[in-house]
Amino acid sequence: MDINIRNAQEIVDQWIKENGVRYFNELTNMVLLTEEVGELARIVARTYGEQSFKSSDKEINLADEMADILFVLMCLANQTGVDLTEAFQKNIQKKTNRDSERHKNNEKLN
């Protein structure tokens, strides 16, 4: 099953209505998003950085942590009226206009 961003936002909204009772308020979801990003950071630090895994880290899952971030981000988008498909398209265009030549001319990247 292919899911695009707009479909995913609808799936999250349906899940909240059927299983979550209601959305947490925006501040709570922002804190949850920060917590999920921290969990991803811990995995990346231990997998690609110099930190070692603890015994409590045995069940970690990089993909699952990324999906948790997407879920909470989509909750925030839904409750604040942000269409992430439209926002992403505009953001890519902004980055293209601003950075396409800058990165090509960056000696550190060549």
Is the model's pTM score more than 0.75? yes
pLDDT digits (tens, 9 = 90+) for 3-62: 999 999 999 999 999 999 899 999 999 999 999 999 999 999 999 999 888 887 778 899
Residue with tokens 């604040």: 80
Say what angle helices 5-15 and 62-80 make with each other, to 10 degrees: 80
Query: CATH says 5-84 is which class?
Result: mainly alpha
Under the banding of pLDDT at 50, 70 and 90, the label for residue 105 is confident
